[in-house]
């Protein structure tokens, strides 16, 4: 709300448009912040340089039940260098940032603002823009329903995309928003607004119905790791067979 914004005088607000000298404005900002003396990789305290050393996280036990943190670890372990990671995993992917911190260089495209449904179409755009790079879409199931028709586009254009559906059968992010607002979903009607289990979504059938032939499901860490290896072998080939969908069962 407005009463939470700090009072700032007009002389502290800079507005820059396309007719302005943007480079000059950035130099003015650099001078104002005293950042001219900061050299990336020398005295930036790690804020502008990659972590020292490249190392992937170790895989969890193959017979362990798949969970959000385990899924993030498996994705970070297997993702190829130069991957484009489209991240709309929401509540299932909170640990991905730490899991991938020392992975080989890759592009991480996250949510813009608080709106949901961007993941699958963003993956389409990334794959069209960079056809030689593997795109991995770490996708929450609830927000994936907003734009699941993107799978048809991926199949039609035979895009180099691996969609990993974080399947927990719930709008978990909406439950968190309700908690933040101190709203208790006590009755069956209100609880049903954040539940996706009645009737349950059949993501494997949805993907096949959109024309995706490479569809897999995983319940354990070992199954998930094997599915990723199979998918990435194909997607890294000169002529991949088409997009892939792996349904990671986190229920």
Neighbouring CB atoms inside 10 A of 130's CB total: 14
Q: Give residue 1's pLDDT.
A: 45
Token pair for 119: 């993941």
pTM of the complete model: 0.77
Residue pair 106/83 in contact (Cβ under 8 Å)? The answer is yes
Q: Give residue 193's pLDDT.
A: 67
Q: Give residue 91's pLDDT.
A: 79
Of 139, 102, 104, 95, nearest to 119 (Cα)? 139
CA dihedral sign, ordered 101, 103, 109, 114: negative
Q: Give residue 5's pLDDT.
A: 58
Token pair for 200: 């349950």
Q: How many degrees, rounded to 5, is the angle at CA 126 between CA 81 and CA 86?
A: 65
- Residues 6 or more apart whose CB falls under 8 angstroms from that of 197 comprise 169, 170
Question: Mean pLDDT in each 10-residue stretch from start to end of the chain (251 residues)?
Answer: 60 70 83 79 63 82 95 96 93 88 91 85 97 96 92 98 90 64 68 73 95 97 98 97 96 73
Token pair for 204: 């494997």
Burial class for 93, CB neighbours closer than 10 Å (0-12, 13-18, 19+) = buried
């Amino acid at each position: 709300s407005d009463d939470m914004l700090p009072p700032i005088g007009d002389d502290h607000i800079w507005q820059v448009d396309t007719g302005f000298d943007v480079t000059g404005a950035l130099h003015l900002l650099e001078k104002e912040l005293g950042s001219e003396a900061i050299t990336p990789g020398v005295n930036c305290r790690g804020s502008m340089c990659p972590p020292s050393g490249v190392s992937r996280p170790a895989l969890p036990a193959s017979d362990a039940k798949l969970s959000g943190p385990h899924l993030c670890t498996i994705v970070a372990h297997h993702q190829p260098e130069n991957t484009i990671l489209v991240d709309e995993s929401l509540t299932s992917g909170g640990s991905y940032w730490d899991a991938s911190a020392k992975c080989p260089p890759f592009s991480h495209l996250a949510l813009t603002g608080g709106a949901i449904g961007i993941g699958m179409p963003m993956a389409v755009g990334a794959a069209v823009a960079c056809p030689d790079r593997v795109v991995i879409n770490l996708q929450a199931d609830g927000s994936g329903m907003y734009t699941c028709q993107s799978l048809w586009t991926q199949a039609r254009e035979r895009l180099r995309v691996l969609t990993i559906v974080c399947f927990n059968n719930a709008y978990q992010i909406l439950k968190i928003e309700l908690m933040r607002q101190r709203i208790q979903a006590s009755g069956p009607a209100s609880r049903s607004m954040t539940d996706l289990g009645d009737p349950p979504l059949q993501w494997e059938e949805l993907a096949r119905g959109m024309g995706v032939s490479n569809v897999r499901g995983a319940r354990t860490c070992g199954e998930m790791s094997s599915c990723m290896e199979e998918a990435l072998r194909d997607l890294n080939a000169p002529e991949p067979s088409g997009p892939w969908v792996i349904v990671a069962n986190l229920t």
